[in-house]
Amino acid sequence: MIELPVAVTFDFLTAWDFWIAVGILAGIYGIFALGLQLNVGYTGVLNFGQAGFMAIGAYAAIIFVVDLGWSYWLALPASALLTIIVGLLIGLPSLRLRADYFAIATIAFSEIVRDVAQNARDLTGGNQGTINLELENDRFFTDPWFSTSDWIQENLLDPIGLSGQEFGDLPLFLVVWVTLGLLALGLHFLVRSPWGRVLRAVREDEDAARALGKNAFSYKLQSLAVAAVLGAISGWFLAFNLESVSQVAFEPLYTFLGFGALVLGGLASFGGVLVGSVLLWTLLEGFRFLDLPLAADKVSALRFIIVGVILILLMAFRPQGIFGKREEMVLGE
Amino acid sequence: MNDAAPIFRAERVVKRFGGIRAVNGATMDVREGSITALIGPNGAGKTTFFNVITGFYKPDGGSATFDGKPTLGHPPYAIARLGMVRTFQITKALAAMPVIDNMMLAAPDQPGESLFGTIFRQPANRSREREVRNQAGELLEMFNLQALADSYAGTLSGGQRKLLELARALMTKPRFLLLDEPMAGINPTLGRRLLEHMERLRTEDGVTFLFVEHDMDVVMNHSDRVIVMAEGRVIAEGEPHEVRSNQAVIDAYLGAGLPAEANGDG
């Protein structure tokens, strides 16, 4: 037998908690990418600042709960509202820019959010993250969530034999995916409504839409505001998952990964976002288990190379993604 | 027809690009119920004028009223909602949308076009959709496009796109249609059909037309008023035969025997 230099163990594939952890990430970034799909796939707005909206949603919710002592019922809607307001404030000047300049402006926005999160230590806990705030206030953002999670485990999962030991964070997985499913379904109907028809017209040709009496700018702004809320929701779940957040969780890389899921799944399809996100996160997390004769940081860089190559191959052989419509892609140009 | 009131009036409209005055104090009246041709040599400022009065360019001076209401400097969607609707020199079919969606999009008063309405006013939304779908179907039939209703607009031929753009503009129930070179790049048969549609819409629905056209034959035979622009100004206005014999027009535009050519062809 030839000894392969690469030893691969596939044990992880049969471990439930691995799949549940991947599923939680895929779900969280699926919600995140639904917003990108609405912007990019349906409105033609190149939003590269989704990580910024995710950051604002997560930080605002945590600050409201930990610093101000609000309940989730107040903190979560308030953080969503704040994200909408920020989205509108960002969109008002920058959506007047041409698409590519808008993309640059939104990357700048998300980096500004991250810089503020890094440096406004009293507000955000700085580089160590919100755990600082939680220790100071002796109040933990995830406490109410954990009691909900325990309730789900005891009352819904234990009775059917899904124990916490074997299945890990199954309650979070379920809540994330139910939310993702409902949001995707809602958006699916929304883009097929007359409202969505105007969005698609704006995507195709803004001037044609305006000539027919549609306020294209207002629709782009609405699309961005909806995406911002989706970013905020994904931010809450990220905070539940990580227990405390710091600025590294909101690097532009995550927006690009969101675009990766979008391209994999195909433009103008919300189902595609779900499948794309699952594929992307399975690849990214699965490759962690490659047992290579390399340092850990090299392995972690390698998995991005592998995902990149897969995306390149996809672009070469199926540019419309898995669920995208080829006609819409070709005719859209 | 001669004493019809103007439905649209532009006064001393100016549009500058850097140092160039593309539109340099253009003044004109468009009579209600007329088919008015806007002619002039290349670079006379016709398309720029169109873009200014429909809100696509910000004006640098002047005023305009549609149906007595000021419109100059207003955003394009607001002007379109008043019933003053344009088409484009290069057709803007919404390529990756089906023909029927192109049509239905254009209909006004759809409560489902607001985010609130589309979620909370389902019944009103759906009944309006049915109405609009029927109207769209009728118009597509009139323009002989019904077989293409479910095709992507991007798959249509150039001529079919021109027809679609006119049909789509009609979905807005316009009172004043501005067509930028509607006959350009389409075959003569389709062109004739387009002209017939214009004449019928004028007679049956009282739609007023202002159209940019280079084909003198079309201008002389199918319009009842002609406005001539040169160097950003209106240099003549009148009935086709008046304009044809106007010395300023001949100097600026028609020049080397074009009217004679038009006579010969017509």
Neighbours of B4 (CB within 10 A): 15
B148 vs B256, higher pLDDT: B148
A293: tokens are: 């004769």
Q: In B67-182, which residue ranges form alpha helices assigned H by DSSP?
A: 76-81, 99-106, 115-120, 122-142, 158-171
Q: Do A204 and B56 touch (CB under 8 A)?
A: no
Which residue ranges form the domains of chain A, and what is each CATH number? 7-331 (1.10.3470)
Between strands A7-8 and A290-291, the pairing is antiparallel
CATH classification number, B6-93+172-265, choose in 3.90.45.10, 2.60.260.40, 3.40.50.300, 3.30.470.10: 3.40.50.300
Residue A115 in this model has a pLDDT that exceeds 50: yes
Residue B113 zone, left/alpha/beta (φ > 0; ψ -120 to 50; rest): alpha
Q: ∠A293-A299-A303 over CA atoms, to 5°?
A: 135
The pLDDT assigned to B183 comes to 87
The pLDDT assigned to A5 comes to 53
The pLDDT-based confidence of B256 (bands split at 50, 70, 90) is very low
The pLDDT-based confidence of A62 (bands split at 50, 70, 90) is very high
Contacts of A262 (CB under 8 A, 6+ apart): A33, A36, A37, A40, A41, A272, A273, A276, A321
The predicted model gives A301-325 an average pLDDT of: 85
The pLDDT assigned to A188 comes to 95
pTM of the predicted protein model: 0.91
Span of A181-195, A235-249, A284-298 with lowest mean pLDDT: A284-298
Mutate to test the interface with A, among B81, B104, B105 (most CBs of A within 10 A): B105
Between strands B35-39 and B20-31, the pairing is unpaired
Residue B260 in this model has a pLDDT that exceeds 50: no
Question: B13: which strand partners?
Answer: B26
Neighbours of A321 (CB within 10 A): 26
Q: Do A200 and B97 touch (CB under 8 A)?
A: yes
Q: How far is the C-alpha of A122 from the C-alpha of A111, rounded, in Å?
A: 19
- For chain B, the structural domain boundaries read 6-93+172-265, 94-155
Contacts of B256 (CB under 8 A, 6+ apart): none
pLDDT tens-digit series, residues A152-164: 998 998 888 888 7
SS3 state at A205: coil
- Please, how many CA atoms are within 13 Å of residue A6, restricted to the half-sphere of its CB? 6
Is the Cβ–Cβ distance between B87 and B163 less than 8 Å?
Answer: no
SS3 state at A201: helix
Residue A73 in this model has a pLDDT that exceeds 70: yes
Is the Cβ–Cβ distance between A14 and A8 less than 8 Å?
Answer: no
The pLDDT assigned to A288 comes to 74
Cα B110 to Cα A186, A201, B81, B106: the distances in Å are: 20, 15, 13, 10
The pLDDT-based confidence of A67 (bands split at 50, 70, 90) is very high
Contacts of A38 in chain B (CB under 8 A): none
Q: How far is the C-alpha of B21 from the C-alpha of A333, rounded, in Å?
A: 33
The sheet carrying B176-180 orders its strands as B84-86, B176-180, B208-212, B35-39, B225-230, B233-238
Per the prediction, chain A carries an average pLDDT of 90
The pLDDT-based confidence of B96 (bands split at 50, 70, 90) is very high
The pLDDT-based confidence of B3 (bands split at 50, 70, 90) is low
The predicted model gives A242-251 an average pLDDT of: 93
Q: Do A213 and B77 touch (CB under 8 A)?
A: yes
Residue B174 in this model has a pLDDT that exceeds 90: yes
pLDDT tens-digit series, residues B22-73: 999 999 999 999 999 999 988 899 999 999 999 999 999 999 999 999 999 9
The predicted model gives A52-69 an average pLDDT of: 96
The pLDDT assigned to A167 comes to 79
Residue B259 in this model has a pLDDT that exceeds 50: no
CA of A333 vs chain B CAs: smallest distance (Å): 8
Residue B159 in this model has a pLDDT that exceeds 90: no
A287 vs B198, higher pLDDT: B198
Q: How far is the C-alpha of A266 from the C-alpha of A33, rounded, in Å?
A: 12
The predicted model gives B120-127 an average pLDDT of: 92
For residue B154, give the nearest of A203, A215, A331 by CB distance: A331
High-pLDDT (> 90) share of chain A, %: 67
B102: tokens are: 């192109």
A223: tokens are: 């699309």
The pLDDT-based confidence of B189 (bands split at 50, 70, 90) is confident
SS3 state at A159: helix
Complex ipTM: 0.90
CA of A284 vs chain B CAs: smallest distance (Å): 33
The predicted model gives B227-256 an average pLDDT of: 85
Mutate to test the interface with A, among B115, B122, B161 (most CBs of A within 10 A): B115
Residue A119 in this model has a pLDDT that exceeds 80: yes
Is B260 exposed, middle or buried (CB count within 10 Å of its CB: 0-12, 13-18, 19+)? exposed
The predicted model gives B133-139 an average pLDDT of: 96
The predicted model gives A70-78 an average pLDDT of: 95
SS3 state at B180: strand
The predicted model gives A184-192 an average pLDDT of: 95
Residue with the two structure tokens 């989706």: A230
Asked if the C-beta of B263 comes within 8 angstroms of chain A's C-beta atoms, the answer is no
Residue B225 in this model has a pLDDT that exceeds 50: yes
